Structure 1
Amino acid sequence: MKRYVLDARTATAHFPGIGRYVSQLAHHLVPLLGEDELLILLHHPQETSWPLPAASGKVQRVATAVSPFSISQQWQIPRLLRQHNATVYHSTYTLMPYRPGIPTLLTLYDLIPEQFPQLVSPQARLFTRLASRLALHASDRFLAISEATRHLFLDNYQIDYAKIIAIPLAADARFVPQPDTAVATLRQKIKLPSKYVLYLGINKPHKNLLRLIEAWELLLQRVTDCPPLVIAGAWDERYGGIKTAVSPQYRNLQIKFMGRIDEADLPALYSGAQLFVFPSLAEGFGLPVLEAMACGTAVACANQSSLPEVGGSAVAYFDPTSCQQMAAVLQELVEDEAKLAELAHKGLVQAANFSWERTAVATLTQYRQLAQTS
């Protein structure tokens, strides 16, 4: 019997992307374990909105007071792994024990702090790069969430080509086309327009919202009957200049800032949109594009980073550095309902190529291969 440790200590509100990944992976690993066991390492007390599997014959929840930000994890977590006779350790973040003592797997998400150094202070950049180097040196195998991420790490760090595997993410099963009643209920709840183009995501500079707004202004000069642009998602006031850049005229540009939307409402938000637009300059994967397609909504997005892996031939692409091209693609779509319907159908087909079951199967394969080296 093998015992695989999934480190879920960073599955908190501070790391929502990691939380979503760990939650979905853990739930889909459990039915595949066979004679093996999954130990979920938790930081106690840990507040998370991401549900994790309950303890059972195949699952142990191992609580520890040792934070992933604590120096003491360097000796306390390896001791805990020994106490539980762990076979393989899966770290889901670069803050980890750097001498775990057993075969170790590390998930790699992106290099956005290095690609966009203006996002963090020089001290934070130095710390991030140091943590990455230590984690990469400590790990025996790596799971990249996309081929784009895989190649970024190969290009920027000395990693054995054969030790880094791309295993894509997937959309939660609740992201499916929603009935008109669900969309109508959400429309009334948060005062959505009857028709809208949607952007959903944070407002950090690499998300490229300033260019989206510039492209939107160009679009309104060309299209007389254009639906409003709804910008939804958590707002980081450190990057609040986007609102400032379009105030007070953003209402004249038919732009509605919605702020954070409840997780339970996201499928209806996607489903109610005529078009989902995602102009990001860099992504580790691009989950919003996949979620929108899974909800039956046409998608237009940037033609770089990992996004073409997610969208395939089912989305309309644009150069995210060209406001003119972005506006032209948006114009073509908002003026052509048949094209929107075609992309919506293609998106549903493309989204079906991704599933958490496949992600879990591929991940468990890596666990079992590493276990043979212990």
Structure 2
Amino acid sequence: MRIGIDGRYIQDHFPGIGRYTYHLARNLAAVAPEDTFFLFIDPNAVNTRHDLSPFVEAPNVRLIPATAGTFTVRQQTALPALARQHRLDLYHNPYYLVPYAMPCPMVATLHDMIPMLYPEAVPGAVLPTAFLMAVRLTVLRARRIIVVSQSTCRDLLRVVPSADGKVVAVHNAVDDGFAPQSEGRVAEVRRRYGLDARYLFYLGANKPHKNLVRLIEAWAMLPGEVRAGAELVVAGHEDERYQQVYEAVTRLGLCDVRMLGAVRDEDLAPLYSGATGFIFPSLYEGFGLPVLEAMACGAPVACSFTSSLPEIVANAALTFDPHNEADIAAAMRTLLEDAELRRELSDAGRQRAARFTWRRAAEETLAVYRSIETAR
């Protein structure tokens, strides 16, 4: 097959979708040497995260310049023209906004339903009605819709029933670099961030559905003797529109909450590895990649029992009600005080994370492609 993959998302503006596209494309090329992959790349996009040289060296990958912007009307004509030029048998778009006039069968990936379920997380960016319209059009035009969890599959079918029969769940994966780090590497990163105490770690955005205010309030509920010698470390991209977390820290007079902001990708594995535990109170996730990364690094995990997270962690993590501050606090206390349980969760988490590989994701995605080829 001649398979087109929209690699324009391999750029800094799309960190999560870019990572998904990059690793999926690399592994597809490896598991399907008999197929040819045409990876559309925007040479003008800023890309400091991903090395494209493996694609240059791969004998069955062609890098195709595609300068039409990902949110432009121009992509509606430019990408179909490239598909015709390269005689594509199939085209895979890793996002819900697709070129609707593709001359070949199309696959699209839907990562979550946040604009519908938590519209306050994307104010001024994607209105729920516009998102729903775009998703319905994509479902209409695509032969298959790949979702990254069974939870997202249920969410999609609830609002777009016409996707039934087209939607397939293929789990995301954890990158190879996420593994327990050496004591020296952990110490170096802790020193650089000034993390002298033991800490519970959170990584993610500060958007409302991430539920960080309740996390801060739950931390404040812990008795002083439990928090003594420990810190709550919050890291991740900070959207300046959401100041509620800082306001909560100030209101509660907390000196043991560290707000790191965005951290370097290469520091993530050491930060996970050095944590006494990883805490993730999100109200909604399409998948929940930080939880999987933390488990792969050996961090004991406690997370919300909601949306996709129980599906991802199975029995390898503590779970709690994210709407209940006391329940969150109890999970944090357990992580801080129960060393034996931490060891059990660390072992179980590493075993669970090992099941989520990009090779497996590529093989399952390739099976989706083959099902379309067979049906033609």
Q: Give TM-score, length-normalised by structure 1.
A: 0.95
CA distance, structure 1, for counterparts of residue 13 and residue 263 of structure 2: 17
Query: Offset at 1:223?
Result: 2.1
Equivalent residue of 2:12, what SS? coil
* Equivalent residue, structure 2, for 1:161: 164
Asked if the contact 2:186/2:270 (under 8 Å) is kept, the reply is yes
Change (3 A) 1:95 1:160: closer
Asked if the contact 1:103/1:373 (under 8 Å) is kept, the reply is no
RMSD (Å) for aligned C-alpha atoms: 1.6
Query: What code does the residue aligned with 2:51 have?
Result: P
* Equivalent residue, structure 1, for 2:22: 23
CA distance, structure 2, for counterparts of residue 346 and residue 160 of structure 1: 35
* Equivalent residue, structure 2, for 1:230: 233
Equivalent residue of 1:107, what SS? strand
Query: Offset at 1:369?
Result: 2.0
Give unmatched runs, 5+ long, in structure 2: none
CA distance, structure 2, for counterparts of residue 170 and residue 270 of structure 1: 17
CA distance, structure 2, for counterparts of residue 68 and residue 228 of structure 1: 41
CA distance, structure 1, for counterparts of residue 291 and residue 55 of structure 2: 30
* Equivalent residue, structure 2, for 1:207: 210
Which segment drifts farther, 78-87 or 43-52? 43-52
Change (3 A) 1:85 1:250: farther
Change (3 A) 1:333 1:122: closer
CA distance, structure 2, for counterparts of residue 167 and residue 316 of structure 1: 24
Asked if the contact 2:6/2:93 (under 8 Å) is kept, the reply is yes
CA distance, structure 1, for counterparts of residue 253 and residue 189 of structure 2: 23
- Map 1:54-203 onto structure 2 (within 5 A): 54-55=55-56, 56-121=58-123, 124-125=126-127, 126-203=129-206
Query: Offset at 1:122?
Result: 6.8
* Equivalent residue, structure 1, for 2:279: 277
CA distance, structure 2, for counterparts of residue 323 and residue 219 of structure 1: 10
* Equivalent residue, structure 1, for 2:296: 294
CA distance, structure 1, for counterparts of residue 29 and residue 344 of structure 2: 37
CA distance, structure 1, for counterparts of residue 12 and residue 227 of structure 2: 41
In the alignment, does 2:53 pair up with 1:50? no
CA distance, structure 1, for counterparts of residue 51 and residue 299 of structure 2: 27
Asked if the contact 1:317/1:329 (under 8 Å) is kept, the reply is yes
Asked if the contact 2:148/2:286 (under 8 Å) is kept, the reply is yes
Asked if the contact 2:220/2:252 (under 8 Å) is kept, the reply is no
Give unmatched runs, 5+ long, in structure 1: none
Query: What code does the residue aligned with 1:41 have?
Result: F
Query: Offset at 1:265?
Result: 0.9
* Equivalent residue, structure 1, for 2:352: 350
CA distance, structure 1, for counterparts of residue 253 and residue 237 of structure 2: 18
Asked if the contact 1:230/1:256 (under 8 Å) is kept, the reply is yes
Asked if the contact 1:226/1:334 (under 8 Å) is kept, the reply is no
Query: What code does the residue aligned with 2:39 have?
Result: I
Asked if the contact 1:153/1:159 (under 8 Å) is kept, the reply is no
* Equivalent residue, structure 2, for 1:367: 369
CA distance, structure 1, for counterparts of residue 135 and residue 193 of structure 2: 41
Query: Offset at 1:120?
Result: 3.1
Query: Offset at 1:72?
Result: 2.0
Asked if the contact 1:187/1:194 (under 8 Å) is kept, the reply is no
CA distance, structure 1, for counterparts of residue 355 and residue 2 of structure 2: 30
Change (3 A) 1:320 1:44: same
Query: Offset at 1:273?
Result: 0.1
Query: What code does the residue aligned with 2:172 have?
Result: L
Aligned length: 372
Query: What code does the residue aligned with 1:159 have?
Result: S
Query: Offset at 1:74?
Result: 1.6
CA distance, structure 1, for counterparts of residue 332 and residue 66 of structure 2: 50
CA distance, structure 2, for counterparts of residue 273 and residue 294 of structure 1: 13
Query: What code does the residue aligned with 2:118 have?
Result: F
Asked if the contact 1:106/1:143 (under 8 Å) is kept, the reply is yes
CA distance, structure 2, for counterparts of residue 329 and residue 50 of structure 1: 36
CA distance, structure 2, for counterparts of residue 113 and residue 222 of structure 1: 41
CA distance, structure 2, for counterparts of residue 248 and residue 281 of structure 1: 23
Which segment drifts farther, 63-72 or 355-364? 63-72
Query: Offset at 1:115?
Result: 0.7
Equivalent residue of 1:325, what SS? helix
Asked if the contact 1:220/1:226 (under 8 Å) is kept, the reply is no
Change (3 A) 1:251 1:245: closer
Equivalent residue of 2:132, what SS? helix
CA distance, structure 1, for counterparts of residue 51 and residue 227 of structure 2: 46
Query: What code does the residue aligned with 1:309 have?
Result: E
CA distance, structure 2, for counterparts of residue 153 and residue 180 of structure 1: 43
